């Protein structure tokens, strides 16, 4: 049993928890954290307790992390507030991503952790605002958000890429997702994953990742290929051809080495290959 996760009354069903209960839980966690670590009081108050809503806290974090001498925190905050006000799906996606991290990452003991401390979660929410800007025709501002995410978080996601909800990017160092990539719902990926092209050709040139896929650390998926729902890509693999649903691929170049091992690999996060997969 993870005692730290059990210190606060658990959500009855994290995936279906209403937004207000999640934000209330975060606020309770924040007050406990300030009590236990007063030196972080200013950070936690500014990042969480000062805000009336989940969306306001996310907008504050976006503006704080991406501000620079080229773009002020105030301007970025106005952009984020406008995005959340006009596109409620951004908040729904952010909540689904947060609960995905809480469910799948054993290092996550509180819902407040990803918002304050995890660059994978923060970078993904910044991408979502950049993608919204792209859809609004504000392409240069979207590119600015991409640039700052790359500089600040080491996560480079083109704002035109399409990413579903309930996505976890664990550790999130050196993530690259190209312009025409599509990532489905409930996907988990670890650090140093690339969803890239195979040359300098234009057009639809990046991978299409199905729902519930688990992509291991350092995996490279290259070209306009499809990875079927609920498949696993082993760490360090280079995937150059399509992957059927519910399969495990491994190697350079990757080949099918067995079934995915379960119906929900992105949630189970089992990254070990059985002996039967090695031959």
Q: Is the pLDDT of residue 8 over 80?
A: no
Q: Using CA atoms, how far apart are residues 33 and 35, in angstroms rounded to an integer?
A: 5
Question: Tokens in use for 29?
Answer: 């966690």
pLDDT of residue 199: 82
Q: Is the pLDDT of residue 276 over 60?
A: no
Q: Is the pLDDT of residue 278 over 90?
A: no
Complete edge-to-edge strand list for the sheet that includes strand 155-157:
155-157, 175-177, 194-196, 220-222, 238-239
Q: Is the pLDDT of residue 38 over 90?
A: yes
Residue 154 Rama label (left phi>0; alpha psi -120 to 50; beta): left
Q: Is the pLDDT of residue 203 over 90?
A: yes
pLDDT one-digit tens code per residue, 51-86:
999 999 999 999 999 999 999 999 999 999 999 999
pLDDT one-digit tens code per residue, 243-260:
999 999 999 999 999 998
Q: Is the pLDDT of residue 9 over 70?
A: no
pLDDT of residue 120: 98
pLDDT of residue 177: 98
Q: Taking CA 49 as the corner, what is the angle to CA 94 and CA 77, rounded to the nearest 5 degrees? A: 55
User: pLDDT grade, residue 272 (50/70/90)?
Assistant: confident
User: pLDDT grade, residue 215 (50/70/90)?
Assistant: very high
Question: Tokens in use for 118?
Answer: 């995890």
pLDDT of residue 275: 46
Average pLDDT score over residue span 34-55:
98
Q: What percent of the chain has pLDDT over 90?
A: 84
């Amino acid at each position: 049993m993870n005692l730290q996760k059990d210190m606060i009354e658990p959500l009855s069903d994290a995936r279906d928890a209403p937004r207000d209960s999640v934000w209330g839980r975060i606020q309770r966690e924040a007050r406990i954290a300030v009590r236990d670590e007063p030196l972080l009081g200013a950070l936690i108050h500014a990042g969480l307790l000062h805000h009336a809503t989940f969306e306001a806290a996310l907008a504050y974090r976006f503006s704080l992390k991406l501000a620079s001498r080229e773009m002020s925190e105030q301007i970025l905050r106005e952009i984020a507030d406008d995005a959340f006000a006009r596109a409620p799906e951004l908040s729904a996606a952010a909540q689904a991503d947060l609960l995905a991290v809480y469910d799948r990452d054993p290092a996550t003991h509180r819902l407040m952790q990803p918002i304050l401390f995890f660059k994978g979660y923060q970078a993904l929410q910044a991408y979502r605002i950049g993608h919204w800007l792209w859809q609004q025709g504000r392409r240069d501002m979207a590119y600015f958000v991409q640039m700052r995410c790359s500089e600040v978080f080491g996560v480079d996601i083109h704002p035109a890429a399409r990413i579903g909800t309930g996505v976890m990017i664990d550790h999130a160092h050196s993530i690259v997702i190209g312009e025409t990539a599509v990532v489905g719902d409930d996907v988990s990926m670890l650090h140093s994953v690339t969803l890239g092209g195979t040359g300098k050709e234009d057009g639809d040139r990046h991978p299409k990742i199905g729902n519930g896929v688990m992509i291991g650390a350092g995996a490279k998926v290259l070209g306009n290929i499809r990875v079927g729902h609920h498949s696993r890509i082993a760490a360090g693999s280079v995937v150059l051809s399509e992957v059927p649903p519910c399969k495990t691929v491994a190697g350079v170049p990757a080949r099918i080495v067995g079934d995915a091992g379960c119906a929900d690999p992105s949630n189970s996060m089992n990254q070990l290959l059985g002996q039967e997969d090695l031959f």
